[in-house]
Structure 1
Amino acid sequence: MELMPADKEIIHRLLLFALGEGLYGAQVSYIREIVQDQVKIPLPGAPDFIPGIIHIREEVVKVIDIRKIIPLAKEGLKKKIIVFVPENQSATRFGMLVDDVYGIMEVPDSVVNLLDRSDTKIQNNFMLGFLKCSLDTFLHQNGRQYAAGNDDLVWIDFEDLIRTITDDGQSDTITFRLTALFNPEYLLSDEYRKNAKK
């Protein structure tokens, strides 16, 4: 949900998290809670990127591990699971494994470089936009205020990401789209070209 302060500027509430070498943000309206990584129960017949399920207050949550789809830098020590808000009461619950979660930053619309979502080429990588911030300043202040700086933050379209990962019909494009988002340098590598030909 977006906030509207007295000066009328739109404020985006983004949950900041790390995955691989990147810093990312997602609108909190798509996130139900954050839990510590835990032992997962294997799910027979599930794709490799779903290593298993966990139980949260008697609810079953399928865990998605992006590293099972694309190569990323070394895993962080503080692994967390971001649990998504389900589409409805009967929908399957999903959570995504990330390296760390830093909290909610209230980002002014004026500092966000939003992408033109009407361009079909841009929609391939789940990116809504990007901005510069200071993660260190944000972590050492009280509150959720935006902290200006030189850290690159990518704003992810979590709704599109969740829908695509959970849609069997999108399996042919998911690897490319996730690689374009989380590890774009890999798209230019010889290893990616070899794997793409398989």
Structure 2
Amino acid sequence: MSVNIQEELEEDTQKGKFLTFIMGEDFYGIEINHVREIIGIQPITEVPDQPEYLRGIINLRGKIIPVMDIRLRFGKVFMDYNDRTCIIVVDIENVSLGLIVDAVSEVLSIPDTEIVAPPEMNKGGHNFIKGIGKVGSEVKLLLDCKTLLVKGAWDGNEQLDTLGG
């Protein structure tokens, strides 16, 4: 089987699957095809002159990964990390990034028919939400991972965040 066909089959099996995580009282989801691994919280080396939500960097088996606190990226209040706090390592457009979340929940299949556009609101975090997944009587806010990397996602500035540059 050629590599391209195998990659297409993998994409098909991941379509509609989301890793769900908890932040406060809310449940969020990110497309599983962005997720590389989930690790427990670990020491983070701060990098000066970065936005507060970019907590710093970690050394993950020799690879340096910038780490972002999703809670702070959404403009929420910082909460101390605990034994349930996780870092979800994602790859977004060839950029590896660690996302700090309160806890990881589960992987869910959410068909396109159960995903609706977010309502029009003037809330800052809205730009990070690409859809709302309906799962039974619950809703999961589905993140647009690409906008997490964009500086000023609230004001339309399209420059990418870069640690140290």
State whether TM-score is above 0.5. yes
Rounded to whole Å, the distance in 2 between the matches of 1:54 and 1:32 is: 15
User: Number of matched residues?
Assistant: 143
CA distance in 2, matches of 1:128, 1:2: 20
Give the AA of the match of 1:28: I
**Could you tell me which residue of structure 2 aligns to residue 13 of structure 1?**
17
Would the aligned equivalents of 1:20 and 1:74 in 2 still touch at CA under 8 Å? no
Map Cα deviations across residues 113-163 of structure 1 (whole Å, 9 max, x no partner): 2459xx9x8995222221332xxxxxxxxxxxxxxx3222111111222x3
Which of these residues, 85, 107, 111, is aligned with residue 91 of structure 2? 85
Aligned to 1:107: 110
Q: Which has the larger radius of gyration?
A: 1
For residue 5 of structure 2, what is the aligned residue in structure 1? none
Higher strand share: 2
Question: Which residue matches 2:56?
Answer: 52
Write the distance in 2 (CA, Å) between the matches of 1:86 and 1:128: 15
What's the counterpart of residue 130 of structure 1? 132
Say if 2:127 and 2:153, in contact at 8 Å, map to a contact too.
Answer: no
Pick the aligned partner of 1:29 from 30, 33, 57: 33
Unaligned runs of 5+ in 1: 5-10, 134-148, 175-198
Q: Which of 146, 153, 157 is the equivalent residue of 2:144? A: 157
Partner of 1:71: 76
| TM-score when normalising by structure 2 | 0.70
Q: Check 1:156–1:2 CA distance in 2 against 1; reply closer, same or farther (3 A cut).
A: farther
| Bigger helix fraction | 1
Match of 2:98 among 84, 95, 98: 95
TM-score (normalised: structure 1): 0.60
Corresponding letter in the other structure for 1:24: Y
Structure 2: 5+ residue stretches without partners: 1-10, 157-165
CA positional deviation for 1:172: 6.5
Matched-pair contact (CA < 8 Å) for 1:126–1:157:
yes
Structure 1 residue aligned with 2:42: 38
What's the Cα RMSD here?
Answer: 3.2
Letter in 2 for 1:103: E
8 Å contact 2:17–2:32 — kept in the other structure? yes
Identity among equivalent pairs (%): 27
